[in-house]
Amino acid sequence: MPERNISNALQQARKKNIHTMGWLRIMLTPFTFVLQNTIKLSRMLGLENTLFEVFFRNVRIRNESAFADYTPTKNDIFICSYIKSGTNWAMQIAHQIANRGQGEYENIHDVVSWPEVPIKNFAIPLLDTSQSKKSVTGLRVIKTHLEGNLVPHNEHAKYICVVRDPKDVVVSSYFFMRTALFGKLMPSVSAWLNNFLSDVAIHGPWANFLHTYWLWQDRDNVLFLTYEDMIEDLPGVIRKIASFVTVDLTDEEFERICYLSSYSHMKAIDHKFYPGRITPFSLPVGCMMRNGKSKNASELFNAEQQAQIDEHSRRALEKLGCDFPYDEHFKIN
């Protein structure tokens, strides 16, 4: 199918899904009221964590076979990151480098495959190679939030692993999930934190994710970045990624990619990244790029709770035998 037709088909499918969710939202209004009160009651009885654990566990089970028997190729750039850790930012940089600053799209998932996406016909299929054929470099981008043991690895593809301070991840994911997924059914802040620190967090334990990719750190085709690196030195990160995927940018291409990957520009085109009202419970207004900050966990958590996240994450990594220098990157100053 021609590229334009694929893009149009995906756009229509996403619009159809949002339209369907609109009808369901109306039909489920009485049920939503019941669910709200059920959650309130479970909170009063101390059962809120259990209620959401069942949901999150089922989400993980459905995702684990996303790559099936796929064999990566020299054209693939994998963006591997935990949720709300700079995924779209890294995707934008990689896609623009692959297209020398001329990567255009109506929605980022028209051009970036997301194999474990929970919504049918939401992203360009993994087996669709049209982007690598269109790209002047022959490269295409694949996104995943799966742990490394669930992602196929070989020496041909490139893997960019992005990790973010877990304290900021909890905060950012709370606001995103509230608008895009749960709406008025969103768990309380304390329940969200407790779930994040459990074994059934929505995308699995943060430490497990980091550990499975940190095992790859010494491989020549793996680049490890932190969200904080991207904030502190975006031009440097862009140069590092371009060098990593062996694309020699001209000065003009480099400057354009810096602009296209800036927070101000990506915020201005947020609609190309935000999924919209994808469930019957989604709130009317939401965004993907909320503030683009780091070290901002105090927005939701006090110093004691932040220290709890640090301690839990550090111990979890130690238990896994992971030598990632946590305190060097993420410990509260």
Residue 226: strand pairing partners: 163
Q: pLDDT tens digits, residue range 177-221? A: 999 988 988 988 998 998 899 888 888 899 999 999 999 999 999
Q: How far apart are CA 30 and CA 39, in angstroms?
A: 15
Res 106: pLDDT: 94
- For 309, the domain range is 3-330
Least-confidence region, from 28-32, 150-154, 172-176, 310-314: 28-32
Q: Which of 129, 109, 142, 113 is nearest to 7 (CA)?
A: 109
- Where does the pLDDT of residue 143 fall: very low under 50, low under 70, confident under 90, or very high at 90 and above? very high
Which of 42-46, 129-133, 227-231 is the least confident region? 42-46
CA atoms lying within 13 Å on the CB side of residue 61: 6
pLDDT band at 331 (very low <50, low <70, confident <90, very high): confident
Question: What is the pLDDT confidence band of residue 225, given thresholds at 50, 70 and 90?
Answer: very high
DSSP secondary structure string for all residues of 143-200: EE-S-GGGS---SSSEEEEEE--HHHHHHHHHHHHIIIIIGGGPPPHHHHHHHHTSTT
Q: What is the pLDDT of residue 62?
A: 63
At residue 265, does pLDDT exceed 70? yes
Q: What is the pLDDT of residue 145?
A: 95
Sign of CA pseudo-dihedral 101, 107, 113, 118: positive
Judged against a pLDDT cut of 70, whether residue 4 lies above it is answered with no
Cα atoms in the Cβ-side hemisphere of radius 13 Å centred on 24: 12
Q: CATH code at 191?
A: 3.40.50.300
How far is 70 from 279, CA to CA, in rounded Å? 29
> pTM for this structure?
0.91
CA nearest neighbour of 273 among 100, 36, 126, 90: 90
3-class secondary structure, 223: strand
What single DSSP character describes residue 270? G
Place of tokens 């994998």: 78
pLDDT value for 67 = 94
Given the DSSP bridges, would you call strands 140-144 and 76-81 parallel, antiparallel or unpaired?
parallel
Residue 1 has pLDDT above 80, yes or no: no
- Provide the domain count of the chain: 1
Q: What is the pLDDT confidence band of residue 230, given thresholds at 50, 70 and 90?
A: very high
Q: Stretch 253-274: mean pLDDT, rounded?
A: 96
Q: In sequence order, which ranges of the chain are alpha helices (DSSP H)?
A: 3-27, 29-44, 48-63, 87-98, 130-134, 166-177, 189-196, 206-214, 227-232, 234-244, 251-260, 263-268, 303-320, 326-330
Q: What is the mean pLDDT of residues 22-26?
A: 86
- Residues contacting 8, CB < 8 A, separation 6+: none
Nearest to 108 by CA among 123, 98, 130, 126: 123
Sign for the CA dihedral angle at 53, 301, 273, 102 comes to negative
Q: Could you give the CA distance from residue 233 to residue 297 in angstroms, rounded to a whole number?
A: 21
One-letter amino acid identity for 112?
V
Mean pLDDT of 147-164: 96
Mean pLDDT (the chain) is 91
Residue 25 has pLDDT above 90, yes or no: no
Q: How confident is the model at residue 136 (pLDDT cuts 50, 70, 90)?
A: very high
What H or E segment, with its residue span, contains residue 226?
strand 222-226
Q: What percent of the chain has pLDDT over 90?
A: 65
